[in-house]
C-alpha cells in the first residue's frame, strides 16, 4: 500500500491505543497548527495590503467628490466600498485556498508534514481553517474601514446590520474556500483553479437567485434539470446583503441569519468532505 | 553609413512634415477628445452615453431604496421611471406596480427574500426595519425622513456628465434639489449647465421659470422664461411626444396662473385658450376661463 495514502485516517478516528478525548484534542491541535501557517502566510504576502490600500484609496477619492454641496450623501460611497470589499474578499479567499495544496506539493513540504502524526484530512481541514480565518481577519479590517467611512458620513452606525453583513460574508467565503480547495485537488494548476472557481462563484452570485425563473421558461426536460440545479448549487447570493446595508433596511431576523449560517456550514462541510475523499485517493508523488 | 544617415534624415523630415500637416487638422477635428476637459469624455468618447442611461436607472433604483425588478423579473406593462413625479398621494397606486416579485415560487425563494429589499419604499419615507413579503395594506404613511433624496444626486450628476444631451436628467435633479433639499442655487446652476448643453430646451426653461416664480419671487423673469419655453416648444412641435405635450400644457397653465395673479387677464385668457386646445380635461379649463372672464369684467 502506498505509504502516503496509508497515513490518511479521518481526523477524529481514534487509534486503538489512544483515549477518545485526547485524540479529538490532538486532531483539533493539528488542524489549528496547520491553519496558523496559512494565517502567517497571509500577512507575509502582499495581496491583502494591496487590495486594502486600493479599496481605501478608491473609496476615499470617491468620498471627496462634492455633489451639489451636500456633505451627507453616503449611499453611493457605501455601495462602492462594499463592492470593492466583496471583490477583494473573493480574490483573497480563492487565491489563498487554491494555492495551498499545490504549493505544498511543489515545494515537497507535504511529505514531511504527513510524516508527522497528522492525517491527510487534518492537513486539508487545517488548510481550510487557516484560509477561512485569514479571510475573516481580512474582512474584519475591511468592514472596520467601511464602518468608519459610513459612520463619519452618515452619523449613525447600525452595528447589528454591519455584524450580520460581515458574518454572512465570512460564512459565504467559507463555502468559497472549500470550493477552491476542492478545485485545487481536481485541476492541474492554481491558475486554472482560481479562474474556474471565480467564474463559478460569480455565476452563482449573478444568476443563482433567478435560476428558478429561467427554469420555468424552459421546456421539459430542461425545466427539471435547471430547477434541480437551482436546488443543488450553494446559493451564495443569499449572503449578499449589500442592498439592505446600503439602503438602511435594518437587520434581518436573527433566526433567519442563523439559518443562513447553518446553510453555509452544510455546504462547506459537503465540499470539504468531497475534498477529503479526493485527497485520500490522490497519489502525491 | 551615408545612406543610413540620409534615410534617417529623410524619415525625420517626413515625420516633421506630417506632424506639421496633421496637427492643425487634429485640433479642429470634431472627434478630437483631447479638446474636452471632461475625463469621462476623453476616456469613453461617445460610448459614455451607453452608461448614462445606466446611471439614470441607478438613481431610480436608489429612489426605490433598492427595490427594483431585474431583467429576469416580469416588468408591469405600465412600468416607468418616476423619480421626478412620485408624490405621497400616488404612493398607494404605484405600489401595485411592484407585483413583479409575485408569491414565492419555492422554499428557497421564500427564504432568499429576507436577504434583499422586497418592500416598496421611496426615499424620504421612514421604515420600521426589514420586513420582507408583501407590503401591508394599512397604507399608514411613515414619518418623513427629510433630505434622504440627496442620495439620488451622485447618479444624476454622473448621468449628466456621461450624456449632457439628456435634458430630463437636469430637470429631475433640479426638482429634488429645490423642492426637498432646498438648494435653489445649486438647482439653478445645474439647470443652466443643462441649458448650455441643450440650448433653448423648453423643459429646462420651464424649470428655470419655476425657480424664478416660486423661489426668487421674480414674476417678470418667470414670464420671460416660460414664454421663451412656449415659443421653443412650438418651433420643435414636429418632434413632439405625449410627454412633450404635457410640458407645453404645464408651461401654458403656469403662464395663465402668473398672468391671473398679475391681473393681466387678457393675457391669461390667451394662454388658457391655447391650453384648452391640448388639455384632456377641457371642462376644468373652461371653468377656469369662466372665472378669469368674470374677474376681467369686474375690474
DSSP string covering A70-104, please?
BTT--HHHHHHHHHHHHHHHHHHHHHHHHHHHHHH
What tens digit of pLDDT does each residue of B115-146 get?
Answer: 988 887 887 766 544 444 433 333 333 444 66
Q: Which residue has the higher pLDDT, B27 or A79?
A: A79
- Residue B138: the pLDDT is 35
- Chain A residues interacting with chain B (CB cutoff of 8 angstroms): 65, 67-70, 72-76, 168, 209-210, 212-214, 216, 230-231, 235, 237-241, 243-244, 246-253, 256, 259-260
- Residue A77: the pLDDT is 92
pLDDT at B214 over 60: yes
User: Measured between beta carbons, which residues in chain B are less than 8 angstroms from residue A72?
Assistant: 147, 150
C-alpha A116/C-alpha A122 separation (Å) is 11
Find the residue in A nearest to B67 (Cα).
A243
- Residue B240: the pLDDT is 58
CB contact under 8 A, A241 and B115: yes
Paired residues of A121 in beta bridges: none
User: Measured between beta carbons, which residues in chain B are less than 8 angstroms from residue A65?
Assistant: 154
C-alpha B11/C-alpha B9 separation (Å) is 5
Task: Classify A180 as helix, strand or coil.
Answer: helix
Residue ranges in chain B assigned as alpha helix (H): 2-28, 39-44, 48-63, 91-95, 107-112, 153-162, 167-179, 184-197, 202-210, 219-235, 242-261, 265-278, 282-298
- Does residue B100 contact residue B75 with C-beta atoms inside 8 Å? yes
From A225, A223, A271, A237, select the one nearest B111 (Cα to Cα). Answer: A237
pLDDT at B106 over 80: yes
In whole angstroms, what separates CA B121 from the centre of its chain?
A: 21
Average pLDDT over residues B176-184: 89
Q: Which residue has the higher pLDDT, B146 or B212?
A: B212
Mutation target vs B (from A61, A64, A67, A250; most B CBs, 10 A cutoff): A67
Interface of B with A in 167-186 (CB under 8 A): 173, 177, 181, 183, 186
CB contact under 8 A, A76 and B154: yes
C-alpha A269/C-alpha A273 separation (Å) is 6
- Residue A20: the pLDDT is 62
From B35, B30, B48, B36, select the one nearest B165 (Cα to Cα). Answer: B48
C-alpha B158/C-alpha B148 separation (Å) is 18
- Residue A94: the pLDDT is 94
Mutation target vs A (from B68, B114, B121; most A CBs, 10 A cutoff): B114
Asked whether the CA dihedral A76, A77, A82, A85 is positive or negative, the reply is positive
Confidence of residue B66 (pLDDT cuts 50, 70, 90): confident
Q: Which residue among B108, B116, B154 sits closest to A67, beta carbon to beta carbon? A: B154
Q: What is the DSSP letter of A106?
A: H
- Residue A36: the pLDDT is 86
- Residue B80: the pLDDT is 52
C-alpha A180/C-alpha A148 separation (Å) is 32
Touching check for B125 and chain A: CB below 8 Å?
no
- Residue A248: the pLDDT is 87
Confidence of residue B239 (pLDDT cuts 50, 70, 90): low
Mutation target vs B (from A63, A70, A164; most B CBs, 10 A cutoff): A70
- Label residues B91-123 b or e (16+ Cβ within 10 Å = b): eeebbebbeebeeeeeebbebbbbbbbbbbbbb
Please give the interface size between A and B, counted as residue pairs whose CB atoms are below 8 Å apart: 95
Touching check for B104 and chain A: CB below 8 Å?
no
Walking along chain A (285 residues) 10 residues at a time, the average pLDDT comes out as: 43 58 77 84 86 94 88 90 95 92 83 79 90 93 94 88 94 95 89 93 92 87 90 92 90 92 95 90 75
- Residue B72: the pLDDT is 80
pLDDT over 90, % of chain B: 25
- Does residue A35 contact residue A133 with C-beta atoms inside 8 Å? yes
Q: Which residue among A210, A239, A247 sits closest to B65, beta carbon to beta carbon? A: A247
Find the residue in B nearest to A72 (Cα).
B150
Task: Classify B144 as helix, strand or coil.
Answer: strand
What's phi and psi for B121, nearest 5 deg?
Answer: -155, 140
CB contact under 8 A, B66 and A247: yes
C-alpha A57/C-alpha B109 separation (Å) is 37
CB contact under 8 A, B72 and A213: yes
User: Measured between beta carbons, which residues in chain A are less than 8 angstroms from residue B154?
Assistant: 65, 67, 73, 76
Confidence of residue B228 (pLDDT cuts 50, 70, 90): very high
Q: Which residue among B130, B157, B181 sits closest to A249, beta carbon to beta carbon? A: B130
C-alpha B173/C-alpha A120 separation (Å) is 62
Paired residues of B125 in beta bridges: B144
User: Measured between beta carbons, which residues in chain A are less than 8 angstroms from residue B127?
Assistant: 248-250
Amino acid at each position: 500500500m502506498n505509504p502516503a495514502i496509508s497515513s490518511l485516517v479521518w481526523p477524529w478516528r481514534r487509534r486503538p491505543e489512544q483515549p477518545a478525548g485526547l485524540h479529538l484534542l490532538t486532531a483539533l491541535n493539528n488542524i489549528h497548527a496547520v491553519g496558523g501557517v496559512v494565517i502567517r502566510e497571509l500577512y507575509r504576502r502582499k495581496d491583502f495590503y494591496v487590495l486594502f490600500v486600493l479599496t481605501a484609496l478608491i473609496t476615499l477619492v470617491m468620498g471627496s467628490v462634492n455633489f451639489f454641496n451636500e456633505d451627507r450623501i453616503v449611499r453611493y460611497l457605501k455601495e462602492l466600498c462594499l463592492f470593492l470589499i466583496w471583490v477583494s474578499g473573493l480574490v483573497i479567499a480563492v487565491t489563498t485556498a487554491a494555492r495551498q495544496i499545490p504549493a505544498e506539493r511543489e515545494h515537497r513540504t507535504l511529505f514531511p508534514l504527513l510524516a508527522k502524526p497528522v492525517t491527510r484530512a487534518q492537513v486539508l481541514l487545517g488548510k481550510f481553517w487557516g484560509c477561512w480565518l485569514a479571510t475573516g481577519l481580512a474582512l474584519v479590517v475591511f468592514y472596520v474601514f467601511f464602518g468608519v467611512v459610513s459612520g463619519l458620513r452618515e452619523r449613525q452606525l447600525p452595528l447589528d446590520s454591519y455584524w450580520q453583513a460581515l458574518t454572512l460574508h465570512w460564512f459565504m467565503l467559507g463555502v468559497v474556500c472549500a470550493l477552491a480547495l476542492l478545485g485545487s485537488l481536481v485541476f492541474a494548476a492554481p491558475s486554472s483553479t482560481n479562474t474556474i472557481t471565480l467564474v463559478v462563484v460569480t455565476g452563482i452570485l449573478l444568476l443563482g437567485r433567478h435560476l428558478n425563473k429561467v427554469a420555468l421558461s424552459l421546456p421539459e426536460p430542461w425545466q427539471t434539470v435547471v430547477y434541480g440545479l437551482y436546488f443543488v448549487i450553494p446559493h451564495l447570493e443569499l449572503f449578499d446583503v449589500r442592498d439592505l446595508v446600503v439602503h438602511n433596511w435594518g437587520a434581518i431576523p436573527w433566526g433567519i441569519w442563523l439559518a443562513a449560517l447553518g446553510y453555509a456550514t452544510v455546504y462547506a462541510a459537503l465540499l470539504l468532505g468531497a475534498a477529503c475523499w479526493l485527497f485520500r485517493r490522490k497519489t502525491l508523488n | 553609413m551615408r545612406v543610413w544617415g540620409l534615410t534617417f534624415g529623410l524619415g525625420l523630415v517626413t515625420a516633421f512634415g506630417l506632424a506639421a500637416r496633421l496637427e492643425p487638422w487634429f485640433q479642429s477635428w470634431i472627434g478630437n477628445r483631447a479638446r474636452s476637459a471632461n475625463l469621462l469624455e476623453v476616456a469613453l468618447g461617445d460610448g459614455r452615453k451607453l452608461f448614462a442611461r445606466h446611471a439614470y436607472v441607478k438613481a431610480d433604483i436608489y429612489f426605490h431604496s433598492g427595490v427594483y425588478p431585474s431583467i429576469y423579473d416580469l416588468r408591469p406593462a405600465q412600468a416607468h421611471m418616476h423619480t421626478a413625479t412620485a408624490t405621497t398621494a400616488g404612493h398607494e397606486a404605484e405600489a401595485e406596480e411592484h407585483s413583479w416579485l409575485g408569491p414565492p415560487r419555492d422554499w428557497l425563494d421564500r427564504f432568499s427574500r429576507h436577504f434583499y429589499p422586497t418592500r416598496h419604499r421611496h426615499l424620504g419615507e421612514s421604515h420600521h426595519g426589514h420586513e420582507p413579503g408583501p407590503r401591508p395594506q394599512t397604507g399608514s404613511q411613515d414619518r418623513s425622513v427629510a433630505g434622504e433624496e440627496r442620495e439620488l444626486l451622485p447618479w444624476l450628476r454622473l448621468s449628466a456628465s456621461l450624456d449632457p444631451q439628456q435634458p430630463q436628467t437636469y430637470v429631475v435633479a433640479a426638482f429634488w434639489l429645490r423642492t426637498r433639499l432646498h438648494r435653489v442655487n445649486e438647482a439653478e446652476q445645474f439647470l443652466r449647465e443643462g441649458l448650455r448643453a441643450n440650448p433653448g430646451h423648453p423643459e429646462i426653461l420651464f424649470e428655470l421659470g419655476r425657480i424664478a416664480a416660486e423661489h426668487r419671487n421674480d414674476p417678470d423673469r418667470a414670464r420671460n422664461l416660460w414664454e421663451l419655453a412656449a415659443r421653443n416648444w412650438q418651433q420643435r412641435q414636429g418632434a413632439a411626444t405625449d410627454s412633450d405635450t404635457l410640458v407645453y400644457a404645464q408651461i401654458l397653465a403656469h403662464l395663465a396662473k402668473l398672468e391671473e395673479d398679475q391681473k393681466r387677464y387678457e393675457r391669461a385668457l390667451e394662454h388658457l385658450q391655447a391650453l384648452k386646445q391640448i388639455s384632456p380635461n377641457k371642462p376644468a379649463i373652461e371653468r377656469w376661463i369662466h372665472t378669469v372672464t368674470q374677474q376681467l369684467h369686474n375690474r
